[in-house]
Amino acid sequence: MSALAGRRVVVTAGPTFEDIDPVRFLGNRSSGKMGFAVAADAVARGADVVLVAGPVTLPTPEGLERIDVRSAAQMHAAVMSALPCDAYLGAAAVADYTPASVSARKLKKQPGQDALVLQLVRTRDILADVAAHAQRPQVVVGFAAETDDLEAYARAKLAAKNVDLIAANRVGVHGSGFESDDNTLIVFDARNATPLGPASKADVARGLLDLVEARLS
């Protein structure tokens, strides 16, 4: 039997949208496919799964509870209210910055205004807050998308956010990353680096959950 059977698992997926005004937002290219694949595989192992999804157009995998959110702040609140859990996998591409204020009216360009400065403020770090929670999940997994220095940045995140595993992928190369159905990850813990893929996101999710299982049992 899987070590995930009967365990509570919280997964985040997709982008977040940070509103600027009623018609505009700051978003990113995350499709949500990786997080949805992880959530579906956790269900297949008998876990009790909560999937907190940003704005994506994917169908809901069967057998889990899905909570839809839009912004980083909403995702933070949804994740905190889903705790405690046994394993947390933060696959969402959460905005690091959000507009300091949301304009209630559509911003209009002004004659002669050739540049617009938007003030952004840092969002709360959901992953770090989960890892620092009084009832910390036994296994906390973060994701990192990097264009350069993958291992150095991934290992820095592992330490800075006190997480157990960082699933890192290189963005900007074929067969990896955002819109693709395939992915290539290197999963770092304090000692090891485990390559997963290139393979379908379903297969990569399976490999990742094998590593989570090994830490739970």
Binding site for ligand CTP (CB under 6 A): 12, 72, 90, 92, 94, 96, 123-127, 142-145, 153, 157
User: Cα separation of 23 and 153, whole Å?
Assistant: 35
CB-nearer residue toward ligand CTP: 5 or 160: 160
CB-nearer residue toward ligand CTP: 90 or 137: 90
**What distance, in Å, lies between the first and last C-alpha atoms of the chain?**
11
Taking residue 22's Cβ as centre, other Cβ atoms within 10 Å add up to: 12
Q: How far is the CB of 60 from ligand CTP (least distance, A)?
A: 20
Establish how many alpha carbons lie within 13 A of residue 63's alpha carbon, considering only the half-sphere containing its beta carbon. 13
Q: How far is the CB of 59 from ligand CTP (least distance, A)?
A: 22
Beta strand pairing call for 65-68 and 24-26: unpaired
Q: Catalytic pick from 28, 162, 169, 183?
A: 28
User: Cα separation of 214 and 217, whole Å?
Assistant: 6
Q: How far is the CB of 25 from ligand CTP (least distance, A)?
A: 16
Catalytic-residue membership of 28 = yes
CB-nearer residue toward ligand CTP: 22 or 172: 172
Residues tagged active-site: 28
